[in-house]
Every structure is written in C-alpha cells, then in structure tokens.
C-alpha cells in the first residue's frame, strides 16, 4: 500500500519528535502547523535536541493543509482538545484512500475521527516518549521515543505494515499491537495517575512514588479506570495498579505532559483523561469519586483566573486579591443584598450589593483607608474613603434576573445614594482597588444622572 505523502499535524513534543525523525530521510513528509510554529519552522527549521545528538530538518510546512501535497497518511500528534479544530483543517485533503494515525492521549480520539469521516480510515497509536517544547520549532527529547500501533479490529493489515515500515526506516521503534484499545487503556491508567498527581504535588513522579500513602490512592484511581474499561469490553489485568507503579520506576525523574503544560500556561488534557473516566462512569453507572476529585482539583489549580467583563476584582492593599462574578455576588449574605435598588436610588432599577458586604470578603491591609472604583476600560475612576465606601457604596449587578446590561452601566455599576455632592457613579466597574491614601479620581463636581 502506498504511503508516499505523509502529513504530520502539529510539531509539539509528540508530533515534532516523531515527525522530524520521519522527515530526516524522507522529502515527502510535510507539516500542518499553527501560525507561530509555522513562522519559527520556516525561519529556523524543526530542531530535535537529544542526548544522542541534535538535528534540524526543513520540511515543507503550511497552516492550510490545501497548500501541501495531498497526503496518503496523516499523523495526528496534537492535544486531544484540538482534535475538532484539526478535523476541520484536514477535511479538505482527506480522500477515500487517506489513512489517519492518532498518537494522542485519551481513549476516544479514534472514535471521534471515525464519526467525523464515516469510514474505516483510522489506525490507533500510542506514543511512549518524554520530550518538551523548548520553544516553537525546538523540541528537547529526554527519554524513550517509541510507538505502538494497531488496527482497531486487531488484524494485521497492509496499511499497518506500511506504517510500521515508515517508522522503523526512520529509526523509531514501532511495535504492532494486536489489541490497540487495550494498549491505550493501559496508558490511560498511567496518565490518570501521574498527570494530575504531579500537578497537585508540584513535583516529579518520584515524589509520588516515594510516598507509601499515595499507593492506596493510585490503587483507587486505577481501580476506577479499569472498572470503566471493563464496562466498555476492554478488561485489564487485576494487578494494573502494581504494573503502573513498576513501569514508572525507570522514569521516576520525569515531570508529566500535564505538569509541563500547566507550567507553560497551556491548557491541560484533564477533560480527556480523568474527566473522560468521570463522564463515562456517569453514563455507565460506575462511581468514580477519586477521578472526579482529581478532575475538579486540576481544573481549579490550572485554569487561569477569569478576567474581563462579568468579573470584578478587589486588589491592592489586601492580603489576597479576590474576584467575583454575578453568581458569587448573589451568594453573599442576605443582609448586604438590595433586592430593589430603587428603594435607595429612586428612578433606578435592579438588584445590588452593598459595598460593605464586598469589602468584608478580602482581608484588608491594616493601614488601608481608601477604595478606588475603576471602569473596565480604565478611563473612569472614583476614590472614596473606606468609610464612605462602606456607608454609601452600592454595586448594581442585575436587572430582571439577568446581568446588568452595558447600556445601563453593567455588568457592575457603582452608585452612592446619600453621599450628596461627593457622589460617585462609575459604570462598567472592573476593578476595586484598596489603597493607602486616595487613588485615581476622574469625577466631575456633579454626578451624572442615575439612569
């Protein structure tokens, strides 16, 4: 079977490493890349730095698959959360003969591909490698660098042997798996243990291995994964927890891809690892409490703090900054809620929170004495003394059960009924800054009308 033209999607720690090795001796390997990676690879080539030596390849690359030779084989090395976007990108070049090989983490990538392209075009794969993106177009490779591939039905096909030949010719160990789904579930057990744990302990896998108490946790994580796998007709060995730990001893110094993604500020694959186990467990009626806890904690640790419209942040002279969205404001004590703001500001409608209730949440620095309310665009600000803010400040955040619209000064609007000539009215409040001494103030001598 002809596998002349090969398209590698992504040049990250997986796609970059395997793709570069394939391209080293094969001019028919091209890359589909994101614009920033494309610019770097076009300028400097794709470089693999490894203990065994460093090399650079200069393959044909584009960010539009239609600009590259029509592929016989497409190798997917991208994160699972990019798969939908990638399927859109490759669809124009997938013909009736194109074969797709996925080397992604997770269990359902193959099924998602088959559902999209509606034919038997997918070969399953598992990558065994420890490498990192040093910068766009530069991959640092530390350990391993092998793949296992297999037909989903378990047979040894012509296309499978052709792919194996490509890898072995490029010097990449390639094992044929008679049960690739089982191989993927076995790797899933490892991923669901060490990816989240290394993030939560902020350390390498060695730290997890060296704490005997964690083995009971590992046993529970793997037990939930194997219960789900058995329910989808992929039984795994009873000693899977021991196998997971034993296989890790020889790579005990590594961090995981989830740890590296977290540290680099990239999204994690938690939804496709532990999150997938939780989702599948719910579907099948299998409890997965430990995986559920890990999923929730990883999301809390790794997802960036929300900013922008819909979020108001209190910062400055506080022990710890704190952010609120509308839901968080609704849950502050009833004594601070103003169900109908017209009771304190005739002619104005909406639900509000007394600023004193907001200021009770963060611990203020001992010498803090002023509060400045800033509009989200930074154009307007009003500085009140701490006492004025507590006594008169009201933040309107809701109208008729919906977020206060922009046209009414939302999503958060400061009013100060009862403050007289010193009144403050700041629309689109995005930041509340606690200061020692007065902060920035753009107020005119008279307040604009409330509505």
pLDDT, tens digit, for every residue of 271-319? Answer: 999 999 999 999 999 999 999 999 999 999 998 766 667 899 999 999 9
Burial class (CB in 10 A: 0-12, 13-18, 19+), 3: middle
Has residue 348 got a pLDDT over 80?
yes
pLDDT for res 328: 92
- Measured between alpha carbons, how far is 287 from 281 in angstroms, rounded to an integer? 6
Name residue, tokens 């020889």: 250
- Measured between alpha carbons, how far is 43 from 287 in angstroms, rounded to an integer? 51
pLDDT for res 86: 95
User: Could you read off the pLDDT of 51-88 as tens digits, one per residue?
Assistant: 889 999 999 999 999 999 999 999 999 999 999 999 99
Q: Which helix (H) or strand (E) holds 194?
A: helix 180-201
Structural domains in the chain, CATH included, are: 6-178 (3.40.50.720), 184-302 (1.10.1040.10), 312-435 (3.90.420.10)
Q: Give the mean pLDDT of 252-267.
A: 90
What is this structure's pTM? 0.78
What is the phi-psi region of residue 415: left when phi exceeds 0, alpha when psi lies from -120 to 50, beta otherwise?
Answer: beta
pLDDT for res 1: 67
Q: What is the CA radius of gyration of the chain?
A: 28
pLDDT for res 121: 94
pLDDT for res 451: 43
pLDDT for res 450: 45
- Measured between alpha carbons, how far is 351 from 431 in angstroms, rounded to an integer? 19
- Measured between alpha carbons, how far is 395 from 254 in angstroms, rounded to an integer? 49
User: Could you read off the pLDDT of 140-193 as tens digits, one per residue?
Assistant: 999 889 999 999 999 999 999 999 999 999 999 999 999 999 999 999 999 999
Q: Give the mean pLDDT of 214-243.
A: 95
Question: Is residue 60 classed as helix, strand or coil in its secondary structure?
Answer: strand
- How far CA 130 is from CA of 85, 141, 146, in Å, comes to 25, 6, 10
Has residue 35 got a pLDDT over 80?
yes
- Give helix then strand counts, H and E, for the chain: 15, 20
Q: Give the mean pLDDT of 17-24.
A: 96
User: Could you read off the pLDDT of 369-396 as tens digits, one per residue?
Assistant: 999 999 999 999 999 999 999 999 999 9
Residues forming beta bridges with residue 139, ordered by sequence position: 48, 133
């Amino acid at each position: 079977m002809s596998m002349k033209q090969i398209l590698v999607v992504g040049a990250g720690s997986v796609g970059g490493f395997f793709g570069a090795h394939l391209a080293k001796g094969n001019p028919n390997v091209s890359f589909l890349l994101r614009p920033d990676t494309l610019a770097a690879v076009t300028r400097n080539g794709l470089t693999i730095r490894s203990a065994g030596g460093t090399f650079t390849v200069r393959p044909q690359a584009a960010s539009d698959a239609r600009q590259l030779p029509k592929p016989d084989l497409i190798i997917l090395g991208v994160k699972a959360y990019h798969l939908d976007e990638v399927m859109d990108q490759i669809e124009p070049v997938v013909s009736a003969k194109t074969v797709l090989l996925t080397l992604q983490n997770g269990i359902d990538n193959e099924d998602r591909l088959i559902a999209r392209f509606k034919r038997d075009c997918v070969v399953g794969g598992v990558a065994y490698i420890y490498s990192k993106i040093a910068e766009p177009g530069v991959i640092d490779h530390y350990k391993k660098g092998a793949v296992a591939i297999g037909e989903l039905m378990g047979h040894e096909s012509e296309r499978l042997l052709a792919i194996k030949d490509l890898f072995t010719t490029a010097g990449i160990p390639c094992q044929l798996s008679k049960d690739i789904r089982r191989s993927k579930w076995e790797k899933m057990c490892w991923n669901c243990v060490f990816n989240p744990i290394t993030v939560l302990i902020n350390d390498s896998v060695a730290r997890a291995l060296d704490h005997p108490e964690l083995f009971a946790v590992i046993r529970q994580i793997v037990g939930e994964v194997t219960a789900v796998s058995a329910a989808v007709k992929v039984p795994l060995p009873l000693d899977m927890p021991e196998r997971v730990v034993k296989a890790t001893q020889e790579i005990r110094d590594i961090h995981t891809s989830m740890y590296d993604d977290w540290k680099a500020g990239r999204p994690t694959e938690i939804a496709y690892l532990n999150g997938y186990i939780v989702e599948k467990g719910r579907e099948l009626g299998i409890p997965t409490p430990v995986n559920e806890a890990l999923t929730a904690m990883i999301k809390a640790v790794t997802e960036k703090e929300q900013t922008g419209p819909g979020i108001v942040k209190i910062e400055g002279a506080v022990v710890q900054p704190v952010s609120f969205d509308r839901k968080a404001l609704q849950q502050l004590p009833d004594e601070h809620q103003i169900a109908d703001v017209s009771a304190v500001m005739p002619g104005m409608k909406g639900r509000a929170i007394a600023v004193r209730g907001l200021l009770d949440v963060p611990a203020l620095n001992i010498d803090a004495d002023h509060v400045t309310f800033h509009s989200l665009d930074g154009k307007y600000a009003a500085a009140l003394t701490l006492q004025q803010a507590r006594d008169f400040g009201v933040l309107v955040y809701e109208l008729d059960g919906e977020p206060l619209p922009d046209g009414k000064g939302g999503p958060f609007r400061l009013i100060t009924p009862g403050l007289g000539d010193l009144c403050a009215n700041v629309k689109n409040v995005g930041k509340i800054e606690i200061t020692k001494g007065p902060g920035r103030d753009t107020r005119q001598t008279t307040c604009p009308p409330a509505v």
